[in-house]
């Protein structure tokens, strides 16, 4: 790849604004086409961000200037849209989850490999300066040997703010498959593959209501558990405990803590690119009259601030540099496998052994500059 890489976006819904804003600010990529089932929506987004062409998904795939397709459709059609892009000879960056079933995503990865094309999968928040600074600190031994991790995401649910939230409560989403990718991709990026999963889940209500937009007041069915608790065991020996809920009046999201032999580390919200990183060390002793107050030491974040699109940018540079990219399809496939294993554990009441694995997730160099022209 030489010169800015041509990008075509398929799916011009809620998240396309963030992508269009960021991708039109990176010199290494040029957005040349926006497509959607709803052509008017594609046209409006293209116009808003100065993208020259808009149309259907097929129009994007037929555009010879599109080298990479960014798949921002809903989870139920992620594999179908990504597979069509691979068949058309385009690299793919897709929103999460990579797909809804292991066979579909495994086939997609094989087809991409056979065609010499790359697949990258969200979330790319793990490439952000916040998470990468924390990852480097752990690798440098700031908390000694990591022992266990805790993550918490509990909210009232996205039906509170999304104008078309049905897909977020359908197969392929719920808090596990919609928000789980952020937390699990973070954990796998730190501790390697997950070997075993045990989970409990409950579907508290069978129907929810849309609260905003033209369809406010409409009810829709809930197909999946809306509160899930999972225990994960990593190949490195680390244990994880994660709560994912769309049923909590108390909003507490983005809790991501890692505890080690020599301290505990608070990491940024894995749904964000930046955030607080701080470490607390064990007390040497607690004698009469001493307080239990521990001192938090903040770790300054290193690296340029960006947002969604960073994973795609890393992927196109990785193609040019012939190196693996960070948010790979294999990582997306493993995280999906872990989440489906959790669903199976919820259904069976048994601990499930995860069948896939993934190579160590590469780090992002400190001097990675999204705003440099490198291609």
The residues of the shown chain that bind ligand NAD, judged by CB under 6 A, are 10-16, 36-38, 41, 57, 72-75, 77, 81, 95-96, 164, 178
Q: What is the smallest separation between the CB atom of 71 and ligand NAD, expressed in angstroms?
A: 8
Which residue lies nearest ligand NAD, judged by its C-beta? 13
Comparison of 214 and 365: residue with beta carbon closer to ligand NAD: 214
β strands within the chain, DSSP E:
5-10, 29-35, 53-55, 68-71, 91-94, 119-121, 146-154, 194-202, 207-209, 219-221, 227-234, 239-245, 252-260, 263-266, 278-280, 296-298, 352-353
Cβ atoms within 10 Å of 333's Cβ, excluding its own: 23
**What burial letters (b/e) apply to 110-130, b meaning 16+ CB within 10 Å?**
eebeeeebbbbbbbbbbbbbb
Cβ proximity to ligand NAD: between 72 and 279 the closer is 72
Are the CB atoms for 233 and 373 separated by under 8 Å? no
- Closest CB 61 distance from ligand NAD, rounded Å: 10
Q: Nearest approach, Cβ of 58 to ligand NAD (angstroms)?
A: 9
Nearest approach, Cβ of 315 to ligand NAD (angstroms)? 17
| Phi/psi at 170 (5° precision) | -100, 170
Distance CA 34, CA 7 (A): 9
Q: Rounded to an integer, what distance in angstroms lies between the CA atom of residue 332 and that of residue 356?
A: 11
| In the complex, least distance from residue 339 CB atom to ligand NAD, rounded to whole angstroms | 13
143, 261 in Cβ contact below 8 A? yes
Cβ at position 133, least distance to ligand NAD in Å? 22
Question: Which is closer to ligand NAD, CB of 83 or CB of 152?
Answer: 83
C-alpha pair distances (Å), 150 with each of 156, 254, 264, 273:
20, 11, 11, 19
Could you tell me the smallest distance in angstroms from the CB atom of residue 197 to ligand NAD? 21
């Amino acid at each position: 790849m030489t010169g800015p890489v041509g990008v075509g976006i398929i799916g011009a819904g809620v998240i396309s604004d963030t992508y269009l804003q960021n991708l039109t600010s990176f010199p290494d990529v040029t957005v040349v086409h926006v497509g959607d089932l709803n052509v008017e929506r594609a046209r409006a987004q293209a116009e808003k961000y100065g993208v020259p062409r808009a149309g259907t998904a097929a129009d994007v795939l037929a555009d010879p200037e599109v080298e990479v397709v960014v798949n921002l459709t809903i989870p139920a059609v992620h594999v179908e849209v990504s597979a069509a892009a691979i068949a058309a000879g385009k690299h793919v960056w897709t929103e999460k989850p990579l797909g809804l079933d292991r066979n579909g995503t495994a086939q997609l990865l094989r087809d991409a490999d056979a065609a010499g094309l790359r697949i990258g999968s969200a979330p790319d928040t793990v490439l952000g300066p916040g998470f990468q600074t924390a990852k480097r600190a752990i690798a440098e031994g700031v908390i000694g040997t990591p022992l266990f991790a805790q993550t918490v995401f509990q909210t009232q649910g996205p039906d509170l703010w999304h104008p078309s939230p049905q897909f977020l409560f359908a197969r392929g989403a719920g808090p596990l498959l919609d928000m789980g990718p952020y937390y699990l991709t973070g954990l796998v990026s730190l501790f390697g593959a997950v070997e075993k999963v045990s989970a409990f889940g409950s579907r508290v209500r069978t129907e929810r209501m849309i609260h905003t937009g033209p369809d406010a007041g409409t009810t829709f069915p809930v197909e999946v558990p809306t509160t899930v608790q999972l225990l994960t065991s990593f190949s490195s020996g680390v244990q994880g405990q994660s709560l994912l809920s769309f049923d909590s009046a108390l909003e507490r999201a983005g809790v991501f803590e890692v505890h080690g032999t020599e301290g505990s580390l608070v990491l940024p919200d894995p749904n964000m690119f930046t955030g607080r990183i701080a470490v607390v060390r064990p007390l040497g002793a607690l004698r009469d009259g001493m307080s239990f107050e521990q001192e938090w030491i903040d770790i300054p974040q290193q690296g340029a601030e960006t947002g969604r699109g960073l994973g795609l940018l890393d992927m196109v540079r990785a193609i040019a540099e012939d190196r693996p990219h960070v948010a790979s399809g294999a990582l997306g496939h493993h995280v999906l496998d872990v989440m489906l294993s959790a669903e199976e554990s919820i259904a069976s009441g048994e601990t499930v052994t995860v069948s896939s694995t993934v190579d160590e997730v590469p780090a992002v160099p400190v001097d990675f500059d999204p705003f440099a022209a490198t291609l």
